[in-house]
Amino acid sequence: MERFVDLHVHTSCSDGVFPPEEVVRMAVEAGLEVIAITDHDTVDGVKRALDEGNKVGIEVIPGVELSTRVGPSDIHILGYYVEVDAPPFKELMEKLREERFKRAKKIVEKLNMLGVGLSFETVLEVAGEATIGRPHIADALVREAWVESYDEAFRKYIGYDGPAYLPKYEMSPEEGIKVIKQAGGIPVFGHPGTARRDELIPGMVRAGLMGLEAFHPLHPPEACRYYKDLAKKYGLIYTGGSDFHGSDRRMAPLGSQRVPYEIFLDLESTYRRTKKGG
């Protein structure tokens, strides 16, 4: 019997819909053997997912997906097996949380100055336990009926060209890779096919990148093959997952990428090797 894993999964601790415990139970139902929790810029869901995994008997890999930036390109760095309490890593997570909060508050202030009387409390309510961001501001604008739709909120106000847009604090891919390694993790370039900045890969490899995400819902089959080959060329591992969020906006179901178990074994043995190597 073929065995499958999903190494890219979000929870309600970032912008996913379901709490970590529920995501873990859904993974069991989906027949997956292993999942990695990779929330955006937070590891708040990791311990809860690990506990639930122990209870229901599925292997959960602690992970994160760091947002980094090079010029106009969003570069996502997945970090597998990060030690969530490692000091520099923990400090970064706290800094990112603070920065997100400050930014959301400033965006609301900008909206207020534009005559949109959105209250910050509504944004906090919408965000709940999640890492606060523009999607919550958009949903809050809809809830208070300042706009009719989520898309309108981005188009009119908070999209990149909108009058209430503010850039977020973002590190470089190299910084992201470094902090994941400091926390004992395995850094992997997430969905490189969406960034289309392959020329950055050699520099990222020099900074310590250890893998490329080949299987991803936004990678057509030829991109998947291409990134597998590229990983081999650079002596990297390759990974994959559904990038599950569970909302209408992001449709890929949990486990939908049919990532073979062997890919997890490669990741795990790479982790064991780096751990031994110190």
**In the complex, which residues of this chain contact Zn ion (CB under 5 A)?**
65, 76, 190, 243
Whether the CA torsion 83, 87, 91, 94 is positive or negative: it is positive
Nearer to Zn ion, 8 or 48 (CB): 8
Q: What does the buried/exposed string (b/e) look like for 100-135 if buried means 16 or more CB atoms within 10 Å of the residue's CB?
A: beebbeebbebbeeeebebebebbbebbeebbbbbb
CB of 265 to Zn ion, least distance (A): 22
CB of 92 to Zn ion, least distance (A): 18
Say which residues have a Cβ less than 8 Å from residue 135's Cβ, sequence separation at least 6.
Answer: 15, 150, 249
| Selection from 1, 272, 25, 265 nearest residue 9 by Cα | 25
Strands 259-260 and 237-240: unpaired
Taking the alpha carbons at both ends of the chain, their separation in whole angstroms is: 36
Nearer to Zn ion, 53 or 240 (CB): 240
CB of 88 to Zn ion, least distance (A): 22
Contact present, 250 and 243 (Cβ < 8 Å): yes
Strands 34-37 and 4-9: parallel
Nearer to Zn ion, 7 or 147 (CB): 7
CB of 192 to Zn ion, least distance (A): 10
Nearer to Zn ion, 164 or 255 (CB): 255
| Selection from 127, 73, 56, 59 nearest residue 97 by Cα | 127
CB of 257 to Zn ion, least distance (A): 12
Contact present, 212 and 227 (Cβ < 8 Å): yes
Chain position whose Cβ is nearest to Zn ion: 76
CB of 219 to Zn ion, least distance (A): 12
Nearer to Zn ion, 133 or 190 (CB): 190
CB of 191 to Zn ion, least distance (A): 6
CB count within 10 Å of CB 6 equals 29
Nearer to Zn ion, 7 or 141 (CB): 7
Nearer to Zn ion, 52 or 213 (CB): 213
